[in-house]
Amino acid sequence: VRLEDIDGNMVGFLEPDGPKRRKHPSPSMVTNLEIFAGLASVAVANAKLVSTLNRTVKLFRALLDTTVAMQEPVDLKDTLSTIAGRLNELIPFDETSVYLVDWEKNLLVPVYATGPYADEVMADIGPITGLAGVVAKSGKVEIVADSIDDPRVEDIPGLEDVEASQTMMAIPLKGRGEVEGVMELYREKGRRFTEVEYAVVEPFAAHAAIAIENAKLREELKDNFDSVQKAYEDIKDLDRMKDSLVD
């Protein structure tokens, strides 16, 4: 007996065991089974709705927590740590890394990493190549089924061993119309990332891009403040020299 959703699509079926004493089910038994199947279909549909609602609520709570955390006066690493932690609650992954893109110097600069090879990743400054380079230049997400088999994946610490093969998702972090960085997520290849999961990742990537922009802005403000402070000190030195000459 078919279990159908509200649009008439089959979502499952009910298959009772064989009748006792090889008797065919009576019309009334068939009717009862159909009624039961209808009720079961409603229960399945409701369960799916509740599951979807729970995931949506969890997503919005995680995004709210991330937004609140970004208002705190913390550095880029702490902000990215918060974003990664909230994201991992929704899309489980084993490791992550975040790179800044320096277009002028043609460099990918790691700013955040987790996992057993985090120290090696953080020291791995290099040209805009590999999978992260592809994503930085195209501005489009890339999902890799097997890190060993994909030629775009190169020089990632810990992935030299075939046994360490992973599935990957690389997401561009866009700010002010251009790619500011790239976030990569890794997990064992038996659990390949999907486009549906990317839809969940996307708002967190937007938060990461904003965090990077804010960090750059803070750095520019600090440099400007230091320059003004130095100019002020130079003026004070000139005033002291002038006073000495007058005396």
Q: Is there a contact between 99 and 111 (Cβ–Cβ < 8 Å)?
A: yes
- pLDDT for 186 equals 92
Of 9, 65, 63, nearest to 41 by C-alpha is 9
pLDDT tens-digit map of 45-89: 766 666 655 565 566 666 666 666 555 656 778 878 888 888 888
Q: What is the pLDDT of residue 219?
A: 67
Average pLDDT over residues 148-173: 76
Q: Give residue 62's identity as a one-letter amino acid code.
A: A
d(CA 129, CA 131): 7
Contact 120, 157 (CB under 8 A): yes
The pTM for the full model equals 0.62
Q: Which residue has the higher pLDDT, 90 or 137?
A: 137
pLDDT at position 225 is 61
- The answer to whether 209 and 181 have CB atoms below 8 angstroms apart is yes
Mean pLDDT of 2-25: 72
CB atoms within 10 A of CB 186: 25
**Which carries the bigger pLDDT value, residue 54 or residue 102?**
102
- Mean pLDDT value of segment 23-30: 75
From residue 9, give the alpha-carbon distance in Å to each of 13, 20, 38. 11, 31, 13
d(CA 209, CA 180): 7
Mean of per-residue pLDDT scores for the chain: 78
Place of tokens 């990632």: 156
Percentage, residues of the chain above pLDDT 70 = 70
Question: Mind spelling out the 3-state secondary structure of the chain?
Answer: CEEECCCCCEEEECCCCCCHHHCCCCHHHHHHHHHHHHHHHHHHHHHHHHHHHHHHHHHHHHHHHHHHHHCCCCCHHHHHHHHHHHHHHHCCCCEEEEEEEECCCCEEEEEEECCCCHHHHHCCCEECCHHHHHHHHHCCCEEECCCCCCCCCCCCCCCCCHHHCEEEEEEEEEECCEEEEEEEEEEECCCCCCHHHHHHHHHHHHHHHHHHHHHHHHHHHHHHHHHHHHHHHHHHHHHHHHHHHHC
Give per-residue pLDDT as tens, 188-245.
888 888 888 888 888 878 877 887 777 777 667 666 666 666 766 767 766 676 666 6
Q: Is the pLDDT of residue 116 over 70?
A: yes
Find out whether 137 and 128 touch, Cβ atoms under 8 Å. Answer: yes
**Residue whose pair of structure tokens reads 């089910």 in the numeric block:** 25
Q: Residue 61: what pLDDT?
A: 66
Q: How far apart are alpha carbons 97 and 7 in whole angstroms?
A: 43
